[in-house]
Amino acid sequence: MSSDFTPRKTILDISPYVPGKSSAGANKKIIKLSSNETPLGPSSKAVESYAHGAEKLFRYPDGSATELRAAIAKQYGLDAARIICGAGSDELLNLIAQAYLQDGDEAIYTEHGFLVYKIAIMAAGATPVVAKEVDLTANVDEILKVVTPKTKLVFIANPNNPTGTYLPHDEIKRLRAELPNSVGLVLDGAYAEYVRRNDYEAGLELVATTENTIMTRTFSKIYGLAALRIGWAFGPASIIDVLNRIRGPFNLSTPALAAGAAAMEDVAHIERSIDHNDQWVSWLSGQLTDLGLKVTPSVANFILVSFDETGAKTAANADAYLINDGIIVRRMESYGLPNSLRITIGTQAENEAVVKSLAQFVKQAG
């Protein structure tokens, strides 16, 4: 029997998000480098706070995330009232789309941008519009080319996942200045903590000085709390007010809130994570380049490695070879990069294992 109970038209056109693989076959010990998780794990202080939070499981959590927002505000010198917390930055990205998009609207993301943007846009009933990238990097002029009277939002991952490239602060400011005031700019800084470039700024200044820009961040990457799903956003008071009106009242658990606040305050652990990444992203990029592979320069905690389009030395064959060695990386077909693999920076032993395996693959593939 047919039913008239149907979803929004755009929902069934959405391709569900597929996370990175977590296994490589039964009983095989794996090295998982497919999800951009930190190899150093979370702060011990965060783990301890999480355990203490479990003592209050019978109580509803603080729906305002007061302690966590205070810790974030203290770290960055922000107004806590202009911070909102969510179940990962994914929830906040979806809330922004839900709040500001409707049928007939358009929202822009870049050619190889994070797949959640397209899903959030379509779930809100709007039309996703893709702006071309230049050298696997978001380009302000290409974004401005596709702006129309229907454009309501622009999503920019800076640095971008999966390319690891970034836009300097001056270009982000130019984008904001040349976008119509009716268009919101969403700056996704999931990997911002890893960037050590003088011309980079995650977006705090721009958010603080404009009324139509919002920045999202996550605790899933450098803070090592991916399992807890903690994200936050900083925005104008008017936007934060809108998002709080549709946010679930208890969208973060008590243990997660406690762990997040402790992680934010453990600066020493974050500095160790940054130092580790700086060392090994450079080493791994150099080693794979020496093997004759093309590595896109990255400012994040992963690298994008490109292979031949034909012959034996393809990304698909390299992925199969790595899996046979128990090493899981991320295929990039869904991002329009079928000839590339994304490899997360791991421990010293894991990084060395990747190089050894790919060296054998390259030799075998000729």
Structural domain count of the chain: 2
Helices (H), 189-236: 204-209
Angstrom distances, CA of residue 147 to CA of 36, 107, 183, 224: 31, 9, 9, 37
Task: Tell me how far apart the alpha carbons of residues 99 and 220 are, in angstroms, rounded to a whole number.
Answer: 24
Q: Which residues are within 8 A (CB) of 33 and not within 5 positions of it... i.e. 6 or more apart?
A: 327, 328, 329, 343, 344, 345, 346, 350, 354
Q: For residue 352, is pLDDT > 90? A: yes
Q: What is the pLDDT of residue 2?
A: 66
Based on the fold, state whether residues 51 and 37 are members of the same structural domain: no
Q: For residue 113, is pLDDT > 60? A: yes
Q: What is the pLDDT of residue 193?
A: 97
Structural domain that includes position 299: 21-41+268-365
- pLDDT bin (cut points 50, 70, 90) of residue 289 is very high
Q: What is the mean pLDDT of the chain?
A: 95
Q: What is the pLDDT of residues 232-259, one digit of tens each?
A: 999 999 999 999 999 999 999 999 999 9
Residue 315, token pair as written in the block: 């990304």
Which of 225, 250, 265 is the last residue before a domain boundary? Answer: 265
Which of 244, 265, 286 is the last residue before a domain boundary? Answer: 265
Which of 233, 265, 297 is the last residue before a domain boundary? Answer: 265
- pLDDT bin (cut points 50, 70, 90) of residue 23 is low
Based on the fold, state whether residues 159 and 258 are members of the same structural domain: yes
Based on the fold, state whether residues 176 and 86 are members of the same structural domain: yes
Q: What is the pLDDT of residue 15?
A: 82
- Quick check: is 81 in a domain? yes
Percent above pLDDT 90 for the chain: 90
Q: For residue 120, is pLDDT > 90? A: yes
pTM: 0.93
CATH number of the structural domain spanning residue 257:
3.40.640.10
Based on the fold, state whether residues 209 and 273 are members of the same structural domain: no
- Quick check: is 169 in a domain? yes
